[in-house]
Amino acid sequence: MIDFKEETAKLLADLIAELRADEIREMIEIPQESRLGDYAFPCYRLAKARRTAPQSIACEIAGHIAAAAIFERVEAVGAYVNMFLKKSALIGAVLSAAASEKERFGGGDLGGGRRVIVEYSSPNIAKPFHIGHIRSTVIGNAINNIYAFLGYDTVRVNHLGDYGTQFGKMIVAYRRWGDREDVERRPIRSLLAYYTRFHEEAERDPALEDEARLAFARLERGEAEERALWQWFRDESLKEFNRVYGMLGISFDSYAGESFYSDKMDRVLALLREKGLLRESEGAEIVDLAAFDMPPALITKKDGSTLYITRDIAAAIYRKEHYGFDKNLYIVASQQNLHFRQWIKIIELLGFDWADDCVHIPFGLVSLDEGTMSTRAGRVVFLEDVLNRAIERTREIVIEKTVNTDNVDETARQVGIGAVIFQELSNNRIKDYVFSWDKILNFEGETGPYVQYSHARASSVLRRDAPALAAALADTDALAPALAGSESAYALAKLLYRFPDAVREAGEKYEPSVVTRHIVDVAQAFNKFYHDERILTDDETEKRAKLALVSAARQTIGNGLRLLGMAAPERM
């Protein structure tokens, strides 16, 4: 697709010796109001360099580039050069690109096949897969999709929390109060009940904590009974987790969790000692990070056992050696900011020049109306319950409104789950929020169901005259002039043209909400075009042109929805 911004920058660069072409491109703005043009170039910086009034410079530049083939007109307004692109040129570029690139429209080869590890979701084995996990899960999945769409070779890693002292507690709890049939029937809920009871009982009988530490020590030594229970808890938990992942349409390339790195600790400790980084502190071993304005990082406890940070260092080294990544992304809550700063700094101190390629992507937390979720207290909202309730509520709406669908259950699943995902990805990822059923299940306004409905509406239009659509997509170049006179068509085409930029921005900022907001804008512009224009007109050229634009809008909305991890219904 023609890069009109790049072409504009080249035209300006021929007139502006004081600035490089890349600097000029960065300075070109997209005005908020269409009456101010498609692009605007501010002349304040040139005025300072040339000691000339910016208004005068703007007039001079406008006069020189007004006749360029890509512009309809160019105006000097105050200190700005406002440039209006030739509408037929932009519309033609969009129609052609969308028709030829299809599912790849908006993507590209920016990544050049370079490898990116994306670690996300990472729930704890034998604990609830609750609403708090949805943030890492859907944000990470969207970031993975965006990077793959941009031409990177992505590896999806689910770093399961399947190691640590909590398993000693779980083993003790199961031995005292557990029932195998209950666990096999309802794995997570049964194990949660045991875990909650353990903490209630431990408050009255602190000796339980010692029993749990002993059980975990036996697990670390590989004792058969403890190892078998741990493996069973892991297998049963994964069955339940995978059911939820299946509902969300999410899969992983690796489930290597903390336990995978348990035999790789000695190497990490040896490296730390070799570099002289370990210090003894009250019987434990630490890395002193005071010089970097951070508290010490605890590497081993008094009993010699390792911690999360040691396993994360081992995991990073393994991933670099095994996958040869260019980027290693961690989608983990902002609560862990210090933890990531510490171990990434340790990687740097160990002399690994790829430390900067390890990136923590934080996000805000989810809380309940009654306060923060707590597994120990049993105060959680299961993610599966949220998804099932969203599906059921959507099913009621589909039936009540007699939605046009061949499969009520499938539409309810696509739209209900899509509503939950879209709600998560509609705001900046760093924001905290309070979980609310009313908000999750509100289908009015700028929501997932609205965008999905817009895709289904476009699909319906295209089904009405398939021969005309096929003819339109076979010859898009000749159709653009028929749309140049429609303001709503041009407004829609401009948003479609900017979709690749939105995807790249989302990748650069690790921010899926950029895509979410953009496809809302596209859906709104499409619906205005649909309202303003009679699409299936008697004029064959006009009809084909409008169908080609509807097809481009449908493709863009569909591609955006799939990047977010949502379905794009054909009927709704």
Beta strand pairing status for 71-77 and 80-85? antiparallel
Asked if 169 is an active-site residue, the reply is no
Please tell me whether residue 335 adopts helix, strand or coil conformation. helix
Kindly state the helix (H) or strand (E) to which residue 167 belongs, with its residue range: helix 166-177
CB-based burial label for 273 (10 Å; 0-12, 13-18, 19+)? exposed
| Complete edge-to-edge strand list for the sheet that includes strand 39-42 | 39-42, 80-85, 71-77
Tokens 């699943």, residue?
413
How many Å apart are CA 489 and CA 486, to the nearest integer?
A: 5
Catalytic residue among 86, 87, 127, 543: 127
- Sign of the Cα pseudo-torsion (227, 232, 235, 236, in order): negative
Print burial letters for 510-537: b (CB count within 10 Å at least 16), e (below 16). bbbbbbbbbbbbbbbbbbebbeebebee
Q: List, in sequence order, every residue forming a beta bridge with 83; answer none if it has no partner.
A: 39, 74
Asked if 239 is an active-site residue, the reply is no
- What is the widest separation between alpha-carbon atoms in the chain? 86
Distance of CA 560 to the CA centre of its chain: 11
Catalytic residue among 133, 159, 455, 546: 133
Beta strand pairing status for 80-85 and 297-300? unpaired
Catalytic residue among 48, 64, 87, 130: 130
Asked if 133 is an active-site residue, the reply is yes
For the chain, helix, strand, coil in percent to 5 are 60, 10, 30
Cβ contacts of residue 552 below 8 Å, gap of 6+?
94, 95, 98, 99, 105, 493, 496
How many Å apart are CA 309 and CA 121, to the nearest integer?
A: 18
Cβ contacts of residue 86 below 8 Å, gap of 6+?
69, 70, 71, 72
- 41 backbone dihedrals φ, ψ, rounded to 5°: -120, 120
Tokens 């670690």, residue?
119
DSSP for 220-282? HTT-HHHHHHHHHHHHHHHHHHHHHHHHHT---SB---GGGGGGGHHHHHHHHHHTT-EEEET
How many Å apart are CA 529 and CA 29, to the nearest integer?
A: 25
* 8 A C-beta contact, residue 302 and residue 284: yes
Positions annotated as catalytic residues are: 127, 130, 133
